[in-house]
Amino acid sequence: MTYDVAIIGGGPAGYTAAEKAGKGGLSTILFEKNALGGVCLNEGCVPTKTLLYSAKVYDTIKHAPKYAVSAENAAFDYAKIIARKNKVVKKLTAGIRMKMKESGVEVVAGEAFIQGRTEDGTITLTCGEQTYEARHLLICTGSETVIPPIPGLAETEYWTSREALQSKELPKSLIIIGGGVIGMEFASFFHSMGTEVIVVEMLDKILGAMDKELSDMLQAEYAKRGVKFYLGHKVTAVHGTEVSVEKNGETLTLQGEKILLSVGRRPVTKGFGLENLGVEPFRNGVKVNEYMQTSLPNVYACGDITAFSLLAHTAVSEAEVAIDHILGQTRAMSYRAIPGVVYTNPEIAGVGQTEEELQANGTPYTVKKIPMAFSGRFVAENEMGNGICKLILDGEGTLIGAHLLGNPASELIVIAGIAIEKGMKAEEITSFVFPHPTVGEILKEALG
């Protein structure tokens, strides 16, 4: 049998594409060598947010007296927190399996290997002893943790996000190498659980390309809580529980019971026969056009493999665009308003352009910025807490960037994202009726 669509990888891009293709009447086969859901569901997005919510509940109980509520002797059962995380993952994985079944998708548990293309363009793949053919191929192989060549690291028993999520015991102290999104989310969780946390970051700020002002504010908040930061420090060696760092010629040795490596991720491009297709590369991944086609028209790439936006929600949107194109539609992928969220407590989220990007390009802009405390609902729910809402407008008053620090930034950022994607001006946004009292009103207040 020759399938209409073959998909390698069952993460957010893969299972989204498979479901849409199946429902669209395309005969579809999906190969996944590990577990459906990919990194996001099994060792990334979902399990970390499950742990972070437990930490948030614990933090809330500890600070209940702020809200005139008595809650003495707050405690947690770490083993049960991990067990709950596993239960959530299991439930959602089962849900994906059900979606595949309902969509008529054939799921093959195994590692697919691309053998090549025939003269008519048909893709030939193998998995185990079986050979498969498909008219279209979607490469959705995801990404893997970057392991830098730090002296002594290979001889050290360190954690990546996978081991950190699997551990059933809390370390007394933890050194996190990398202050990006993953590093800060783990810093937030383990600090809430009582672990002494140290974050080492080679850049002079946390959270990479996210808005610097808000990133600095979040760092200051966690530093006030007791998290130690070593910014602008390069890790020069790791030995057992010791991490040597260097800045401006000065070397320090940090001590931690556990070491968590979190310096980023890179696309998976090896081990599945990609070289047999000869598609055009891009950065450390695969080049695609606006319809997610590679340099071979019937070969598509979605998700982290494109080396553009290593986010699950980007992967989902790319997969939808790819299948739409196979079905004959011409909706192009837009990266104009891809939200980025850090699920610390408080949350930080951004979409569109940052001040730093605009300054680097010499683009004129206007900033509208107010404290989150301008929202009555925020004040009611965040005793002695604050945050910031920063909205960026171009010379014509069109919203081109939005950056929020404060809960629930992850839920509010989608409003700004829609406005940016649709090219809305400030007066258009403020003309909408926002329910009162909500934290979301802060967007209207900032533009008013």
Q: Is 214 helix (H, G, I), strand (E, B) or coil?
A: helix
Q: What is the Cα–Cα distance from 377 to 442, expressed in whole angstroms?
A: 10
Q: How many CB atoms lie within 10 A of CB 192?
A: 22
Which amino acid is residue 210, in one-letter code?
A: M
Q: What is the Cα–Cα distance from 353 to 15, expressed in whole angstroms?
A: 30
- 96-107 per-residue burial string, b: 16 or more CB within 10 A, e: under 16: bbebbeebebbb
Tokens in use for 202?
């080679």
The pair phi, psi for residue 37, each rounded to 5°, is 110, -20
Terminal C-alpha separation, the chain: 61
Tokens in use for 233?
């420090």
Long-range contacts of 84-92 (CB under 8 A, 24+ apart): 84/50, 84/54, 85/47, 85/50, 85/51, 85/165, 88/46, 88/47, 88/50, 89/37, 89/41, 89/42, 89/46, 89/47, 89/50, 92/37, 92/41, 92/46
Which are the contacts of 204, defined by CB distance < 8 A and separation ≥ 6?
231, 232
152-153-156-158 Cα dihedral, nearest 10 degrees: 160
CA nearest to 184, candidates 231, 234, 239, 251: 231
- 398 exposed, middle or buried (CB, 10 Å; 0-12, 13-18, 19+)? middle
Residue 64 half-sphere exposure toward CB, CA atoms < 13 A: 10
Q: Which of 136, 191, 313, 436 is catalytic?
A: 436
Q: Quick check: is 191 catalytic? A: no
Which amino acid is residue 94, in one-letter code?
A: A
The phi-psi region of residue 273 (left if phi > 0; otherwise alpha if psi is between -120 and 50; otherwise beta) is left
CA nearest to 262, candidates 386, 356, 162: 162
- Residues with a catalytic annotation lie at 436
